[in-house]
Structure 1
Amino acid sequence: MSIIYNDLHQFSNYIPPIDLTFHQYLLLTDEPVLVHTGSIQQAEALIPQLKSTLNGRALKYIFISHFESDECGGLSLILKHFTEAKPVCSEVTARQLSGFGITNDVIIKKPGEKLIAGDSELEFISYLSEMHLWEGLLLIENKRGIFFSSDLMFRLGKADGSVIDGNWKEEVSNISHMQVPDPDKRLELQQTLEKLNPKFIATGHGPCIRL
């Protein structure tokens, strides 16, 4: 675990066979927000770290960008330990979660909507996740300028606690068909992201990016 940016804590797991690092994040404000759960195995390791970092505070929200094992595979386990936490996701993701018996207190958000979480302002952006082009969500925390890029902007390699310098416009222009296969939807997403002005990219994989 490392404090990666202001009050943003990063939890990481490196998988050597695929040379890829998986990150989860805790925005530790007066209404703490967890971004992604990791797989069930990653969540088992994450839970004691979360409890230690929260230090008695209640976990308020769990943001899920899209339905995939490293984004929400450990959700049911984490909810057993943090019973007051509410998942936040798209309508499509909520339907998938319901198929696994997770139906209570899910907060469904649409692109353009916001959620005020204490002193955080969370804004949601449309994201067609690459597996099935299901409607997911990207997240930006407006007051701190933190953009959570999910699978959009990432690099291979071991990257726990790593931060590199980058350029927002270059990162947006480098979004490829590997991340969003539909060319029209990819262009639409890039045009939406170009209007943002984040200060920091909290990546799902690889080093974070200071802008």
Structure 2
Amino acid sequence: METRIDEIADGIYRLSTYVPDIAPPAGFTFNQFLVLGDEPLMFHTGLRRMFASNCEALARILPPAKLRWIAFGHFESDECGAMNEWLAAAPQATPAHGQTGCMVSLEDFSTRAPRILADGEVIELGGGKRVRFIDTPHTPHGWDAGVLFEETTGTLMCGDLFTQLGDGPALTANDVVGPAIAAEDMFRYSSLNPAMGTTIRSLACLAPRMLALMHGPSFEGDGASALRALADDYDRRVSDEVAEMLRAAA
């Protein structure tokens, strides 16, 4: 298992592991993001079975013991499965997540007490980096879901939003909405709900210049337009589901 490293924005690194056995023949990538600063932060821990590869890759950038924050999008094995392995490797690190995620999962799962983040709360990482936590309940899934926005580089670490197949480049300016729609059609992984489009459009107000995808290449460009297009597709899906339910009940 190989974990590749790419700097996708100033001081933000993508650690990517490609697994060809998932959704063959295209395969699937699992990505973590390291944000450097006086207090470095890692977003996503990866699966437990990927810890050795991810830790070795991160050590090529900085000693794992220097990590100070470990965050993730929602409670799921690829997002936070290796949390405790990372906490053992980084004795000064603090896990951080939103109130719901801490209350229902992290306070029991983590070997170290987490920092509970309010919606919109900022962690100052130093070195010109600051990350803002944003609650996105049930979007794309999990009532504890949230994202991180690094304000200096305009990088939105958007978790499972825009999930796509394949082992593409680390960074792209090409369409990420079409491949995300195709992945949704295949996996049906999102918790469709009436507020989903509105939640995603609220992220567009951040005007991100970089979308850091957990599954797929990071996107550099007009992140707001991509988010609005994705929101439109989820609105369509919700409308189609409601129409189908009404037809079935008639």
Distance (Å, rounded) in 2 between the aligned partners of 1:112 and 1:130:
16
Distance (Å, rounded) in 2 between the aligned partners of 1:208 and 1:64:
17
SS at match of 1:54: coil
Amino acid at match of 2:172: I
Amino acid at match of 1:121: R
CA contact (8 A) 2:139 2:196 kept: no
SS at match of 1:89: strand
The structure-2 alpha-carbon separation of the partners of 1:56 and 1:124, relative to structure 1 and needing over 3 Å to count, comes to closer
SS at match of 2:21: helix
Amino acid at match of 1:163: L
Tell me the C-alpha RMSD between the 2 structures: 2.6
Does residue 188 (structure 1) correspond to residue 198 (structure 2)? The answer is: yes
Gaps of 5+ in 2: 222-250
The structure-2 alpha-carbon separation of the partners of 1:133 and 1:185, relative to structure 1 and needing over 3 Å to count, comes to farther
> After alignment, is 103-112 or 68-77 more displaced?
103-112
Does residue 96 (structure 1) correspond to residue 100 (structure 2)? The answer is: no
1:33: Cα distance to partner?
A: 0.8
Matched residue, 1:152: 161
CA contact (8 A) 2:74 2:144 kept: yes
1:123: Cα distance to partner?
A: 1.1
Does residue 122 (structure 1) correspond to residue 131 (structure 2)? The answer is: yes
Matched residue, 2:55: 47
CA contact (8 A) 1:151 1:179 kept: no
Distance (Å, rounded) in 2 between the aligned partners of 1:64 and 1:22:
13
> After alignment, is 77-86 or 27-36 more displaced?
27-36
CA contact (8 A) 1:79 1:85 kept: yes
Q: How does the TM-score come out when normalised to structure 2?
A: 0.74
Distance (Å, rounded) in 2 between the aligned partners of 1:83 and 1:133:
28
1:133: Cα distance to partner?
A: 3.3
SS at match of 1:198: coil
Gaps of 5+ in 1: none
By relative contact order (CA 8 Å, sep 6+), the higher-ranking structure is 1
Distance (Å, rounded) in 2 between the aligned partners of 1:59 and 1:90:
19
Does residue 74 (structure 1) correspond to residue 78 (structure 2)? The answer is: no
1:99: Cα distance to partner?
A: 3.0
Aligned match for 1:209, one of 215, 219, 223: 219
CA contact (8 A) 1:127 1:137 kept: yes
Does residue 10 (structure 1) correspond to residue 14 (structure 2)? The answer is: yes
The structure-2 alpha-carbon separation of the partners of 1:36 and 1:23, relative to structure 1 and needing over 3 Å to count, comes to same
| Identity %, equivalent residues | 27
> After alignment, is 123-132 or 76-85 more displaced?
123-132
Distance (Å, rounded) in 1 between the aligned partners of 2:57 and 2:32:
11
Q: How does the TM-score come out when normalised to structure 1?
A: 0.87
Distance (Å, rounded) in 1 between the aligned partners of 2:70 and 2:219:
22
Distance (Å, rounded) in 1 between the aligned partners of 2:140 and 2:129:
30
CA contact (8 A) 1:180 1:186 kept: no
1:4: Cα distance to partner?
A: 2.2
The structure-2 alpha-carbon separation of the partners of 1:179 and 1:86, relative to structure 1 and needing over 3 Å to count, comes to same
SS at match of 1:112: coil
Amino acid at match of 1:71: E
1:98: Cα distance to partner?
A: 2.9
Which is helix-richer, 1 or 2? Answer: 2
SS at match of 1:205: coil
CA contact (8 A) 1:152 1:179 kept: no
Structure (1 or 2) with the larger CA radius of gyration: 2
Which is strand-richer, 1 or 2? Answer: 1
SS at match of 1:135: coil
Give the total of aligned pairs.
207
Amino acid at match of 1:22: F
